[in-house]
Amino acid sequence: MPRTTKSSGFTLIELLVVIAIIAILAAILFPVFARARENARRTSCLSNLKQMGLAVMQYIQDYDEKYPYALTVIPTDANTPGGVWFTNRWAWNQVLYPYHKSIQVNVCPNGDARYSRNPLQGHYGANLSLMPDGQGTTPPVAMSQVQASANTYMLMDAGVYSMAAWAQAVTATSTSNQYLPGAGDVGTTVCSAADSYQNSDCQKGRHFGGVNMAFADGHAKWLRSSVVVQEAKKVAPQLYGAWNPANS
């Protein structure tokens, strides 16, 4: 009588159990992977700001210990780093180019991809109290005027290339791009742009509810958006808090 062999295949119940286990593991691991990916982006962004902070320190050594302007008037658009962003104007990003030799360093990994070629919006911004608009007669800020360089905001994740403390304290909106990413969650900033990216950037932020910040001494670290907004809302005697280079 011939021998019969027992089937070694899975039963339907066994297959369903395996599928259920895989689904449970996926539900557990996917958020972990997503957080790891976002951590990598935050680290890359922080590295960008550290490089730009170092570039500012090198610029200061070359220009009589004065910080660069947020926007500088130039005589010609020839040889403009990264192309022409403003006619006869260089943004601070372009002024710093000779020191870091990179346009990509101006692009936040979680920033607005539409502006990656001319990152004036949706990437990084300069604190206008420290790096003022150089189109008028306002003199540049000297290092000696900064009372606490390790605590003074300089460059940050931002809605636009220059950021004013008063705008964050009073009327910052995503319609003007004058917003701090994640400030909408603080409850004081109106995120009302028709642009879906700006609304999301303004409301939720880019890096776990916070922003990466380079300080006036060149170092950089992550801060909660709520902290940066609350500093802007301070009044006398520490008007605008860490935004104001005159504060100790």
Position 221 scores a pLDDT of 97
93, two tokens: 């990003």
Upper half-sphere CA count for residue 73 (Cβ side, 13 Å): 6
pTM, to two decimals: 0.85
Q: Where do the domains of the chain lie?
A: 15-243
Handedness of CA 180, 53, 48, 248 (dihedral sign): negative
pLDDT values of the chain reduced to their tens digit, one per residue, 248 residues:
555 555 566 687 877 888 888 888 777 766 655 666 888 999 999 999 999 999 999 999 999 999 999 999 999 999 999 999 999 999 999 999 999 999 999 999 999 999 999 999 999 999 999 999 999 889 999 999 999 999 999 999 999 999 999 888 776 677 778 899 998 877 666 787 668 888 889 888 899 989 999 999 999 999 999 999 999 999 999 999 999 999 99
Residue identified by tokens 């902070």 is 53
